[in-house]
Amino acid sequence: MSINDVATDQESAPDIFGHPRGLYVLFFTEMWERFSYYGMRALLMLYLTKHFLFGDREAGLIYGSYGSLVYAMPVIGGLIADRYLGYRKAVAFGAFLLVCGHFGMAFEGQAAVEQWVDGKLVIQRDSFYEQTFYLSLAAIIIGVGFLKANISTMVGQLYGTKDPRRDAGFTIFYMGINLGAFTATLACAYLGETYGWRYGFGLAGIGMLFGLLIFHLYRRHLLGFGEPPVPEWLAAPVIPGINRERLIYLLGVVGVFGIWQLIQQTSELGLLLLVMGAIVLGWGIWFSLARCSPVDRDRMLVMLFLIAVSVMFWALFEQAGSSLTLFTDRNINMGDFFTAGMFQALNPMYIIFLAPVFAWIWVKLAAKGLEPTTPAKFGLGILQVGLGFAVLVYGTSLAGPDGKVSIIWLALMYLLHTTGELCLSPVGLSMITKLSVQRIAAMMMGVWFLSSAFAAYVAGMIAGAMAIEDNDTGAVDALTSLAVYSSVFEKLAWVAIGLAIIVLALSPLLHKRMHGVR
């Protein structure tokens, strides 16, 4: 199908509620993909500490390693789709790997046990099911890499560059993300913690299977968008029976086995991310000083500074899936129905209700010339994440004699973290496109995603710093855990608030160095 044919079909195809039918195919595919991802995320730390009996520190590093690779892989998956495979085939392959990974997580096997051996307490794990777990995580990581960035790109292709419906289309699409996250966190966490881990992970797999089926059965509504850039090149044989398309799929499977090994080397992965981050930051500063005009230099340096600030924000924000979930399990008075993982649903719920409010506020402020600048929004974002931890620390001071904290303080913390996210997250990608020198814009977008990967690993390290030792019965004492969490949360609050004050104080200077870019 030629570009002209696609354009003609796009114009003649009947819309649904004023938008292309393909938008709703992508909406439901992404909704179910996010359903599977957040459903599994709600259970992961609890599964690591309760089923496999990993200590908090080791579980935090595994969680951080998984998160960092999930954020890093879309950079590679996007390049492969852009140049060779096309977005539709990349999304389909990624969805298939995700189905395999999520169903693999449902094979939990025998729970780990603690045994005394030669006077030492040793944890006995079934190595087969432990390796199945790591292999399943690897399939999910590679699957997200092929799917995540590319499905968003396809949404943009459904609209012309000047189509006034474009922003509204992305709003509908992102609503699917939050609907999937909200429903999955409640359903998968409840099933997994109440009836068995296999049911929670299995439901996540079923959700991803629905997404794959919807994408495959209704792909005709995509109107030919997302096809390979050069189909003839992709179909050319490499060796008898294997063309270039099949070779890419085989390399993707090989990548799963590579990540299977890498994710078990948590310390080495952290060192790799640190070295890569130092190299990228050093190169960015050198490029800004040596290869840019004064205006571009200033913009690039502001961008690098704000990327560094975002690392701290996301490292604290991502405590939701790790230390905050363990804190909820051990120290929140949840009642008889709710489980710890279910409270992660507060964030997507707040976004569903507050995102339109924030969009309206920014428009109104912009009309009056009062909208905060991009650096100020970054400062406000990290200020609110710090205040969220401060609220929780205050709540811990009111804990009962059993070490349990009222649920209202957790809800307020998630509210502040969400409003912080709504200040910072929407302007992040926009900031990269506005401030980056055009000849390296694509690479700087990759740097933005890699900074998120580094933040996820740092989040795991922070969670590991709140390791709680078991008592003689193998359980965690609530008063002991309360003291540890309140102490670390207080430090996180002061660090975030201090950084926010610095960013807000510097925001006029930073905005000036952006030379007219809002």
Structure tokens at 480: 């002991």
Report the C-alpha gap between 245 and 248 in whole angstroms.
Answer: 5
Q: Contact 429/452 with Cβ under 8 angstroms?
A: no
Listed residues 264, 294, 314: the one ending a domain: 264
Residue 152: inside a domain, yes or no? yes
**Cross-strand bridge partners of residue 121:** 116
Q: Is 128 buried (19+), middle (13-18) or exposed (0-12) by CB count in 10 A?
A: exposed
Q: Which helix (H) or strand (E) holds 324?
A: helix 323-331
Structure tokens at 171: 């709003």
Q: Contact 39/204 with Cβ under 8 angstroms?
A: yes
Q: Which letter does DSSP use for residue 268 in this model?
A: H
Q: Are residues 362 and 380 in the same domain?
A: yes
State the SS3 of 108-153.
CCCCCEEEEECCEEEEECCHHHHHHHHHHHHHHHHHHHHHHHHHHH
Q: Are residues 206 and 274 in the same domain?
A: no
**pLDDT in the model for residue 77:** 87
Residue 30: inside a domain, yes or no? yes
Q: Are residues 377 and 467 in the same domain?
A: yes
Structure tokens at 395: 């709540």
Q: Are residues 259 and 270 in the same domain?
A: no
Plot region of 227 (φ>0 → left; ψ -120 to 50 → alpha; else → beta): beta
Report the C-alpha gap between 85 and 45 in whole angstroms.
Answer: 35
Residue 2: inside a domain, yes or no? no
Please tell me the total count of domains within the chain.
Answer: 2
Residue 350: inside a domain, yes or no? yes
Q: What is the CATH number of the domain that holds 347?
A: 1.20.1250.20
Q: CA 61, 188, 43: angle at the middle one, nearest 5?
A: 15
Q: Are residues 270 and 258 in the same domain?
A: no
Q: Are residues 214 and 245 in the same domain?
A: yes
324: nearest Cα among 230, 185, 440: 185
Residue 8: inside a domain, yes or no? no
Cα 466 to Cα 63, 336, 396: the distances in Å are 14, 26, 15
Structure tokens at 145: 């890499």
Residue 325: inside a domain, yes or no? yes
141: nearest Cα among 25, 261, 28: 261
Centroid of chain to Cα 288: 29
Q: Residues in the chain, how many?
A: 518
Q: Are residues 220 and 295 in the same domain?
A: no
136: nearest Cα among 54, 198, 217: 198
Q: Which letter does DSSP use for residue 237 in this model?
A: E
Listed residues 231, 264, 297: the one ending a domain: 264
State the SS3 of 66-107.
HHHHHHHHHHHHHHHHHHHHCHHHHHHHHHHHHHHHHHHHCC
Q: Which residues make Cβ contacts (< 8 Å) with residue 313, sequence separation at least 6?
A: 378, 381, 382, 385, 420, 424, 455, 496
Listed residues 235, 264, 293: the one ending a domain: 264
Q: Are residues 196 and 277 in the same domain?
A: no
Report the C-alpha gap between 327 and 405 in whole angstroms.
Answer: 10
Q: Are residues 225 and 98 in the same domain?
A: yes
Q: Are residues 214 and 270 in the same domain?
A: no
| Structural domain containing residue 475 | 266-518
Note down pLDDT in tens along the chain; length 518 residues: 444 444 444 444 567 767 888 888 888 888 888 898 899 999 999 999 999 999 999 999 999 999 999 988 888 888 888 888 888 898 899 999 999 999 999 998 889 998 888 778 788 999 999 999 999 999 999 999 898 877 877 887 787 767 777 767 777 887 888 899 999 999 999 999 999 999 999 999 999 999 999 988 988 888 778 888 888 999 999 888 899 999 999 999 999 999 999 999 988 898 888 888 888 889 999 999 999 999 999 999 999 999 999 999 999 999 999 999 999 999 999 988 999 999 999 999 999 999 888 888 988 988 898 989 999 999 999 999 999 999 999 999 999 999 999 999 999 999 999 999 999 987 887 788 788 887 887 678 778 888 889 999 999 999 998 988 766 555 678 899 999 999 999 999 999 999 999 999 999 999 999 998 87
Residue 9: inside a domain, yes or no? no
Q: Are residues 254 and 286 in the same domain?
A: no
Helix axes 56-80, 266-290, angle to 10 degrees: 50
Q: Which residues make Cβ contacts (< 8 Å) with residue 228, sequence separation at least 6?
A: 84, 85, 86, 89, 234, 245
Residue 98: inside a domain, yes or no? yes
- Where would I find the H helices in 229-293? 231-235, 244-262, 266-290
Q: Are strands 113-117 and 237-239 parallel, antiparallel or unpaired?
A: unpaired
Q: Are residues 253 and 273 in the same domain?
A: no
